[in-house]
Amino acid sequence: RVVVGTKVDQNHVNWVTAYNMLTGIRFTVSRTNAKMDRELTDADFDAKHKFSFDITGNELTPSAKYDFKFKDYAPWVFRHLRTTFGLDPADYLVSLTSKYILSELGSPGKSGSFFYFSRDYKYIIKTIHHGEHKFLRKILKDYYNHVQENPNTLLSQFYGLHRVKIPYGRKIHFVVMNNLFPPHRDIHRTFDLKGSTIGRDFKEEGLDENPRATLKDLNWLRRGLHLEFGPGKKKAFVEQMQKDVKLLQKLHIMDYSMLIGIHDLEKGNEENLRDKTLQVFQPGGEAEDPQPNMLARTPSKLESARKAKELRQMIKTQKPVPMEQTANKMPDELQGQKKNNFFYVDDGGFRATHEDDAPGEEIYYLGIIDCLTHYNLIKRIEHRWKGLTNEESQISAIPPERYGDRFIKFISSVTKTREAAEREKTEDAAH
C-alpha cells in the first residue's frame, strides 16, 4: 500500500471536507476562547454544540464557502487541555487555519482513518470511527484528570473533538492532536512498537529508498536497537510510561503503540530531505518518489511576518480571538509552541544519554499513540480465532491488562544505554 502525503488544495477530492473542518474549528475555538476563563463543571465533559454554516451566514455563524453542519464537543475541556499542554491560543488557530491548507496522508493504518497535517506541521487531524469518538467522550474526564496529574504524560495530546457533515454526506468525527515529530528536523528512522511479534514486521526490501517507512517490533529487534537513556532518563521515562499505561489498562484500552522517531545528530538535516519531511509519515508505504514542496519546513522570517499579518487580519475580521492573547507578542513567540513536557524539552524531543549522563548522538521523538481502541467484542473475537494458532504471548489482541504489561515489559527492556547493551552482548558471547 502506497501512502503519500498530498497537499489538500481546491483541486483535492477532500478539499471541501478539509475546508469545513478548519472553518468549524476556527469558529468554535475562537468562540470559546473569547469568553472569560472559568473552572470546569461536570456538564462541560458532556457538552456538545451544533452549528449550521451556509453561504449567506446567519445570526450565529459567519458565512462560509459551503453549506455544512459542525458539532463541537466539550469545548471548555479542550480549551483547558490546550492550556495544560502549553499551547498558545492564537498560535493554535493560525496553525490550523491560515490559508486553509492541510496535507493529507490518506489512510496509513488499516483502520481507515485519515490523517491531515496542519500547514506548519505542528498538529494532526485524525478522522476517527464513531465508536472511538463515543469512547473518547466517555473517558474524557479520566483522561483530563490524568493529564492534570501527569504534566509529562507520553499519551497523545488531544486538543479538540469535532464532527462535520455536509448535506447528504456522512458524519465525519475527528480529533486534533500533537504531531510528535518536529517540523524542523529530519527523522531518520520511525518505529511503531507494541511489544508483540505477530504481524509486526515491515518488509525491508527497498527500505533504502524509503527511509521514512514506519518500521515495527521485529525490525527494531533485528537491528538490536535501544532507547539509549542513561539511568536518570530511563527511570523517568519508564515511570511515566507505567503511569500512562496504568490508565489505559484501567480504561480497557489496547492496541496502542509507542511511536518513536529517531533523529541522528551526526546525519543532521539534509536540506534536500527537508521538503520531503511529509514522507516521515508513510507508515505502510513502499518506496515512492519524493514529493517536493509538500510543506513542513521551518518557516522563514518572511513567512513568520506573513503569519503575524494574517493573524492581525484574522483578529480584525473575526470577533472572537481576544486581544490579551495576541497583543504584545512577536511573530516568533506566536510561532513557538511552548513545550513544558519533560520528554519534549530537547528541541521537541528527548535526547539520548550515555551511562554517565553525557548527551548521546540521537534525539528521540516519542509518545504513545492510537489509544482509543476499547477492548470490545471485535477484539475478543479476534483473540479467540488468533488464539487457536498462536502463542498468546505473541498475539497483539490480548486483554488490556496483559497488553499493557507486555507493552511495558518490552519497551523497558529495550531502554538501555549503548554501554550496557554492549556489555550484555560480550557477556552473552562469553557463555
Residues of the shown chain interacting with Ca ion in the complex, contacts defined by CB under 5 A:
111, 370
Q: Which is nearer to ligand ATP, 102 or 321 (CB)?
A: 102
DSSP assignment letter at 122:
S
CA–CA separation, 260 vs 366, rounded Å?
4
Residue 124 binds ligand ATP, judged by CB under 6 A: yes
Among 11, 39, 43, 110, binds ligand ATP (CB under 6 A): 110
Residue 108 binds ligand ATP, judged by CB under 6 A: yes
Among 44, 88, 217, 370, binds ligand ATP (CB under 6 A): 370
Output the DSSP codes for 131-192: HHHHHHHHHHHHHHHHHHH-TT--B--EEEEEEEE-TTS--EEEEEEE-SS-SSS---EEEE
Residue 189, CB-side half-sphere exposure with 13 Å CA sphere: 21
Length of the chain: 431
Residue in 180, 178, 153, 159 with CA at minimum distance from that of residue 244? 153
Residue 400 binds ligand ATP, judged by CB under 6 A: no
Q: Which stretch binds ligand ATP (CB under 6 A): 4-12, 62-70, 171-179, 218-226?
A: 171-179
CA–CA separation, 219 vs 217, rounded Å?
5
- The option from ligand ATP, Ca ion, none interacting with 281 (CB < 5 to 8 A, set by class) reads ligand ATP
Shortest reach from residue 113's CB to ligand ATP, in Å: 4
Cell of 29: 475555538
The phi and psi torsions of 430 (rounded to 5 degrees) equal: -70, -25
Q: Which is nearer to ligand ATP, 73 or 256 (CB)?
A: 256
Residue 177 binds ligand ATP, judged by CB under 6 A: yes
CA–CA separation, 56 vs 2, rounded Å?
41
Footprint of ligand ATP on residues 205-234 (CB under 6 A)?
214
Map residues 245-284 to x or -, x wherever contact with ligand ATP holds by CB under 6 A.
--------------x---------------------x-x-
Residue 181 binds ligand ATP, judged by CB under 6 A: yes
Residue 180 binds ligand ATP, judged by CB under 6 A: yes
Please give the size of the binding site for ligand ATP, defined by CB under 6 A: 21
- The option from ligand ATP, Ca ion, none interacting with 249 (CB < 5 to 8 A, set by class) reads none
- Give Cα separations from 395 to 17, 215, 254 (angstroms): 37, 18, 12
Contact (CB, 8 A) for 376 and 131: yes
Q: Which residues bind ligand ATP (CB under 6 A)?
A: 108-111, 113, 115, 124, 156, 177-181, 190, 192, 214, 259, 281, 283, 369-370
